[in-house]
Amino acid sequence: MRSLRTAAVATLVLAVTLVGCTDTPKTDPSHIDNNAPGSGPTAEERPKTLQGDYGVHVEDKTLYMGVLNDESGPQAQAGKAWANGKRLLSLWINSGKSELLPEGWKLELIEADHASDAKKSIQAYQEMKDKVLFFGTSFGEPATQALEKMLREDDVLLYPSSLSSQAQAYEYTPPSGASYKAEAMRAMDWIAKERRASGTPRAGIIYRQGRYGEDGLAGWTEAAAAAGISVVASESVRPEQKDFASAVAAVQASGATHVLLTTLPAATRSILGAAAKRSYAPAWLVNTPAWSDTFFARDVLPAAALANLYRVSGMPYWGEKVPGMEKFLAAWDSHGSAFGATDCNTLFSFVQGLLAIEAFRIALERNDATRSGYRQALSKVSHFDAGGMLPPMDFSEVPFRATNRSRVLRPRSAERSWAVIGDYAAPVAAPANPQGEQAEPPTAEAAPTEKAAPTEEAEPTEEAKPTEEAKPTEEAEPTEEAATPEGAEPTEEGEPAAEAEPTEEGEPAAEAGGG
C-alpha cells in the first residue's frame, strides 16, 4: 500500500438502517459469520445502501471515534502526545486534503481523560460507547484491561496504545506494530550476530512487572535459549519503584555484558544513572517504550550510557526517509503548531489512526458501517503498511498476523534522530502463530502465549523496507556520534522525572522526536 488511500471509493448511495448488536457475541476467528450486513463474499450480497448503527452519521457524512487518554495522570506526558496524534489525523481528514475517506466525510473525536485510572476508564467507556463506532485510542494497559470483557459484549473494536502479545491475540484489540516480545527477540538475535566480534555475550534484563515487562522477558529468554546465550541476570522492578540500585548491582555482579531494559523512561533514566555511579557500562538495549526523546537533550542521560545504548522497535522515527512520511509531515506542517514540540508518540498514534480509518474506508465501500460491518472490514485489511512507514501487517484472521519484524536503532543525538544498526527482521526463533480459535479477553495475570506471536506471512517486501541511507553495518561499535550532544538543557516539563513514574505496564514513553 504505497498510497495512504489504496483505491478511489465508489459513489455511495446514502441511506441508513439502524442495526443493533447481536445478543450473543460469537467466537469468529476468520470473521466469516458475524451477522454483519456486509459480510457476504460477493458484491451482490452486500447492502444496496449504506448501513450504520453507532457513531456514523450518514446524512452529514461524519464518523465519530472514541478516544480514551491519560492527560492528567502518571502517563500525561506520553498520553498528551498520543492524544495529539488522533487530533492531527482528524484535522487533516477534515481539511479535505488527506484523501483517506470519500469526499465530504469528516472525523470527529469524542475524548475522555481517564488519568490511567481503571474506574475512570470504565466510566468514560460507558458514557461514550453508544456514540462512537469504535475506540481509536485506549491509552495505558490498566485502563485498557478494565474494558476488555466489555468489548465483546458490545461488539466494539478498541485500538490500544500497548503492543503486548496478549492484546494482539484478542479479536477486539487489534495491534499497530510488532509486540514487545518480538522486539526483545530481535534484540537477542542482534546480540547473537555480534558475539563473534566481542566474545560470547552474557545477557541480563531488568523488566517492569506486568504485561509489558513479562512480554519482554519471555522474548529475551526464548531467543537466548535458541541462540545458545546464557541469561545470567533477570531483575523485575515494581511499577511504583524509584530506587534501582539493588537491581543494577545484581546485574553487574552477574557479569552481564548486554542488558535489555523493558522499562518506562523514568526507570530507564534512573537505572542508567545508577549504573554510571557504579562504573558499569554494558551494552544497553531498550524496548520501544523504555526510551524518551527527552533523552536526546544534553545531560539527561550519562554520556557513557547514551554512547552504548540501542533501541529495538518496529516503528518509524520522525522524519525518516520512507514512503508515507511526507504526508504525515505535511499534516504536521499544516496543523501541528497547536501541539507544541514534535513527539514520536504523536507519530505512532497517527499511524495507528491510519489503520482505523483504512478499515472504515473499506466499510463504506461495502455499504456496511455497522459495528459488525466495521469489524468485517478490518478483516479485509491484509497488507497495511501506513503508506510505507511500517512493515506490512495482516488483519484477515485472529490471532492477528501483525508484523513480528523490528530493527535495532542507535540514537544520533545531535540530529535528534536515529541510525539503523540492524535492519527490519523477524526473530530467528519466532513461533509460527497458528491460526486457530481467538483468545479470550486476556487477564493481567496471564503470561504471553506463543499463540499471540505474529507469523512471518506479513513480512515486508524489499520495496516496503525503509531506506538504508543512514544504516551502519551490524558490526559497528559505538562512536562519538552517539555521545551526548551539544544542545539545550531540557525543560522541567519535558524531562522524565522519577516522581512521575507511570503506573502503566506497557505504554510507549513520552518522546520528542525519534521513534
Residue 432: pLDDT above 80? Answer: no
Three-state DSSP state, 85: helix
Mean pLDDT is lowest, of 181-195, 351-365, 426-440, for 426-440
Average pLDDT over residues 357-383: 95
Show Cβ contacts of residue 41 under 8 Å, excluding neighbours closer than 6 positions: none
Residue 239: pLDDT above 60? Answer: yes
Does the CA dihedral 457-463-468-473 come out positive or negative?
A: positive
More confident residue, 188 or 493: 188
User: Which of 169, 225, 262 has the alpha carbon at shortest distance from 449?
Assistant: 169
Show Cβ contacts of residue 312 under 8 Å, excluding neighbours closer than 6 positions: 183, 184, 186, 187, 190, 285, 286, 287, 288, 406, 407, 408, 409
- In the chain, % of residues over pLDDT 70: 74
User: Which of 378, 374, 408 has the alpha carbon at shortest distance from 393?
Assistant: 378
Element (H, E) at 223: helix 211-227
CATH class of 180-315+407-491: alpha beta
CATH superfamily of 43-162+322-389: Response regulator (3.40.50.2300)
What residue has cell string 452529514?
60
Start-end ranges of CATH 3.40.50.2300 in the chain?
43-162+322-389, 180-315+407-491
Instruction: Express each pLDDT in 86-103 by its tens digit.
Output: 999 999 999 999 999 999
Question: HSE of 245 in the Cβ direction (CA atoms, 13 Å)?
Answer: 3
Strand partners, 197: none
Instruction: Express each pLDDT in 453-489 by its tens digit.
Output: 333 333 333 333 343 333 333 333 333 333 333 333 3
Q: Distance between CA atoms of 421 and 418, rounded to whole angstroms?
A: 9
